[in-house]
Amino acid sequence: MVNYTIIEHPLVSHYLTVLRNKNTLKPEFKEALDRISYLLAGYVYSNLKTDEVTVQTPLKKCKGRTIKHNVVLLPILRAGLGLLQGFSALLPNVSISHMGLYRDEESLRPIKYYFKFPDVKHKENLKVIILDPMVATGGSSIFTIEYLLNMGIKDINLVSLLCAPEGINAIDKRFNNIQKKYIKILTCSVDEKLNDKGYIVPGLGDAGDRLFGT
C-alpha cells in the first residue's frame, strides 16, 4: 500500500471542522485554511534533513543545525494555492513551482496547461511537496506524481486536507512498489467515499470555489 499518514492534532481537527462547515464564509474559510497550512507545514518539515554548523552567539561559539534539503512547493492550481501560506512562511527560501491541470470532459483525464519548475541540477537533497487540498479520484495527483517521477525526483510528498479512499486506492494501483518508496501522502482525514459527481463525502465542497468565491 502507498505510504499515507493522517495528521492528528487538536488544532488540525478544529480548523478542518471550520472548513467543513457550509456556513463558514469566505474570509473565515481563507483564515482557517491559512492556519491549518502552518500546522501541516510544521509536520511535513519535521522530517527535513539538516547539516551541523557552528555559530557565534553573543557569549560563545556553539553548534547548531541548518536545513540541508532543497524544498520545492508545488501547488496544483488553483486550490493548492490555499495551502501555500504556512509552507512558504515557515521556510522562506523554498522554491515555488506550479502545475495547472484541467479535466477533459470526454475522457475525464487531466490535461496539463501550465507547468513551471526551478532548474535543479543536484536532486539528491531535493524534496518536492505537492499541495492538493482535495484528493478525490486522485487523477490530478497521479498525473503530477508521475510527471515528477519522470523527472527523476525521488522524494515526493503529497499534502492534502482530505482524501477519498478511492483516490488513495487509485494512487496505490497506479505506481509500482519501487515508485511507492518515493511517495508519501499526508492528509488531515480519509473521508467516507466519493458521490456520483466525484465529490468527497462528507468533504467540504469545492475548496477552490469556497476560497476564491466563485
Report domain extents, the chain. 3-212
The tens digit of pLDDT for each residue in 121-154 reads 778 889 999 999 999 999 999 999 999 999 999 9
Question: Where does the pLDDT of residue 204 fall: very low under 50, low under 70, confident under 90, or very high at 90 and above?
Answer: very high
Q: Mean pLDDT lowest for which of 1-5, 102-106, 132-136, 183-187?
A: 102-106
Residue 147, Cβ neighbours under 10 Å: how many? 16
What is the percentage of the chain residues whose pLDDT exceeds 70? 99
Q: Average pLDDT over the chain, rounded to whole?
A: 94
Give the tens place of pLDDT for each residue, 58-117: 999 999 999 999 999 999 998 999 999 999 999 999 999 999 998 776 776 889 999 999
Whether the predicted pLDDT of 10 surpasses 70 = yes
Q: Is the peptide bond before 58 cis (omega within 30 degrees of 0)?
A: no
The C-alpha angle with vertex 101 and arms to 42 and 190, in degrees rounded to 5, equals 45
What CATH number is given for 3-212 in this structure?
3.40.50.2020
pLDDT given for residue 34 in this prediction = 97
pLDDT at 38: 98
123 neighbors 153 (Cβ within 8 angstroms): yes
Question: Do 129 and 157 contact (CB within 8 A), yes or no?
Answer: yes
